[in-house]
Amino acid sequence: MILTKRLVLGACMVALQTGAMAHGVTCGDIQVAHPHSPPTIGLSKVGAVYFNGITNKGKQADQLIAARTEVSPAVEIHEMAMVGDVMKMRSVSEVALPPGKEISLKRGQVNGYHVMLLDLTKPLKEGDKFPITLTFKRAGECQAEVVVAAPKAAEAHQH
């Protein structure tokens, strides 16, 4: 009996550690990996949220269509693209999530996406955490926790 209790306790501890290390969220068929944001500089009123990836594990296409968070009254989905020799950023209404594919939303990615936070209510500081609600056309809403980390720390923290 004591051995069984220890095995169950050990299994629970491993499950909790694995969940904590995974840092992401699953919403229906959509898996969101490692939401993170760099700290803001000075009194900057803009920030960004990046993800190691958003994966559609389903058999039907989906789209990321909106995001919201308490740290910013205005949140937009942005696309980065090279136009000639100039990197341009523009707001888009959705990010297509084809079935069985992962879409990367990493910092500095050419021809990639990120979530832009406008008119921040407070600076984003290293070590802070805040919730973000992502809205998918098919999967609906799900909430993830964004970790504020310097770019090198965020890259090293990938899982």
Band (pLDDT 50/70/90 cuts) for residue 97 is very high
Say which residue, 83 or 136, is predicted with more confidence: 136
Give the burial class of 20: count Cβ atoms within 10 A of its Cβ; 0-12 exposed, 13-18 middle, 19 or more buried. Answer: exposed
- The answer to whether 120 and 69 have CB atoms below 8 angstroms apart is no
Residue 64 pLDDT grade (very low, low, confident, very high; cuts 50, 70, 90): very high
Residues 6+ apart with CB under 8 A from 104: 51, 52, 53, 112
Question: For 90-119, what is the mean pLDDT?
Answer: 92
| pLDDT tens digits for range 8-42 | 444 444 343 333 344 899 999 999 999 999 999 98
pLDDT reading at 156 higher than 80: no
Bridge pairing between strands 36-37 and 140-148: parallel
Residue 60 burial class via C-beta count within 10 angstroms: exposed 0-12, middle 13-18, buried 19 and up = exposed
* Amino acid found at 126: E
Report pLDDT for 112.
Answer: 87
Q: What are phi and psi of 22, to 5 degrees?
A: -70, -30
SS3 content of the chain, % helix, strand, coil (to 5): 15, 50, 35
Mean pLDDT of 36-53: 95
Burial of 32 (0-12, 13-18, 19+ CB in 10 A): buried
Q: What is the mean pLDDT of residues 143-156?
A: 80
Q: What is the pLDDT of residues 74-86, one digit of tens each?
A: 999 999 888 888 8
Lowest mean pLDDT among 1-15, 30-44, 60-74, 134-148: 1-15
Query: What average pLDDT score do residues 91-100 get?
Result: 96
Mean of pLDDT values over 47-64: 96
Question: What pLDDT shows up at residue 1?
Answer: 53
